[in-house]
Amino acid sequence: MTAPIIKIDGISKSFGTFKVLDGLSMQVMPREKLALIGPSGSGKTTILRILMTLERIDSGHIQIDGEQLYHMERNGQLLTADERHLARMRQKIGMVFQLFNLFPHKSVIDNVTLAPILTKGMPRAAAEKRAMELLDMVGMADKAKSMPAQLSGGQKQRVAIARALALQPKIMLFDEVTSALDPELVEEVLNVLWRLCSETDMTMLLVTHEMGFAHDFADRVLFFDRGKIVEEGKPDEIFRHPKQERTQGFLKKIIAAGHRV
């Protein structure tokens, strides 16, 4: 019996008076590929942002790789995590954003090498060698010297993936990484995700509206609505034989909107 790499225990999160997450619990196993689906505003992004420490939780606990994310154990007591603890925990996690968030003033390769050089003290030559390998894997090696503004959306997103991979996180979070792309560019990014999925043993959490891809990619699919897991299961169970009415309704709408399932 292996231990879960992510263990979320009754977390709640409000924005003002609006409660996005209300006592959510879930677990993710090492190497698991998880797809999070659900209607807009159901809290999918919020969960990823909480795991990346971009939002704080109001209550509950999260364990990453056996350690508390937002708490530190000191003399048997649980204290709120300080910045140093968070920085150590962040080493385990990487995130790719919907809008890429590349550094516009840095070339493609500098985008990829910046964090390894600064946070891991990697020598520049080693960081660049590794960056070129990663850029090669995402098919962007020939654009290493380009500036982000010279790239298409799909190319930017592939660079952003390489940038996150450069820190070798155990867990990767992908938040609708193809939603901002023109339809003809979606494929090239999904191909990269597919390679990561089949060639690495990273744990991957994918928020997506690409139901066809989620079906092929995921070991397990979670359907969210209003901050709660309404239904979860193997892709076939969720996509072919959804039990819950809300899941059925959601999938019907998605298909009507022209997405392949």
Ligand X SMILES: Nc1ncnc2c1ncn2[C@@H]1O[C@H](COP(=O)(O)OP(=O)(O)OP(=O)(O)O)[C@@H](O)[C@H]1O
> Which residues are near ligand X by CB under 6 A?
15, 20, 38, 40-46
- Sign of the dihedral through C-alpha 126, 127, 133, 136: negative
Nearer Cβ to ligand X (72/97) = 97
Q: Tell me if 94 contacts other proteins by CB under 8 A.
A: yes
User: What is the radius of gyration, based on Cα positions, of the chain?
Assistant: 19
DSSP string, 188-249: HHHHHHHHHHHH---EEEEE-S-HHHHHHH-SEEEEEETTEEEEEE-HHHHHHS--SHHHHH
Q: Tell me if 91 contacts other proteins by CB under 8 A.
A: yes
Nearer Cβ to Mg ion (72/100) = 100
DSSP designation for 101: -
* Residue 20 contact partner, candidates Mg ion, other proteins, ligand X, none, CB within 5 to 8 A by sort of partner: ligand X
Q: Tell me if 150 contacts other proteins by CB under 8 A.
A: yes
* C-beta separation of 172 from 202 below 8 A: yes
d(CA 28, CA 7): 7
DSSP designation for 3: P
> How many residues are recorded in the chain?
261
Span near other proteins by CB under 8 A; candidates 96-104, 122-130, 194-202, 217-225: 96-104
Instruction: Output the smallest distance, CB 17 to other proteins, in A.
Output: 22
Instruction: Output the smallest distance, CB 250 to other proteins, in A.
Output: 28
Q: Which of 85, 90, 156, 158 binds other proteins (CB under 8 A)?
A: 90
* Residue 156 contact partner, candidates other proteins, ligand X, Mg ion, none, CB within 5 to 8 A by sort of partner: none
Q: Tell me if 42 contacts Mg ion by CB under 5 A.
A: no
The alpha carbon torsion through 250, 256, 257, 258 (nearest 10 deg) reads: 120
Q: Which of 3, 58, 73, 103 binds other proteins (CB under 8 A)?
A: 103
**C-alpha dist (Å) from residue 55 to 25, 73, 115:** 17, 21, 21
Q: Tell me if 45 contacts Mg ion by CB under 5 A.
A: yes
Q: Tell me if 208 contacts Mg ion by CB under 5 A.
A: no
DSSP designation for 142: G
Q: Tell me if 52 contacts other proteins by CB under 8 A.
A: yes
Contacts with Mg ion by CB under 5 A lie at 45
Contacts with other proteins by CB under 8 A lie at 52-54, 87, 90-91, 94-95, 97, 99, 101-105, 107, 114-115, 118-119, 147, 149-150, 163-164, 167
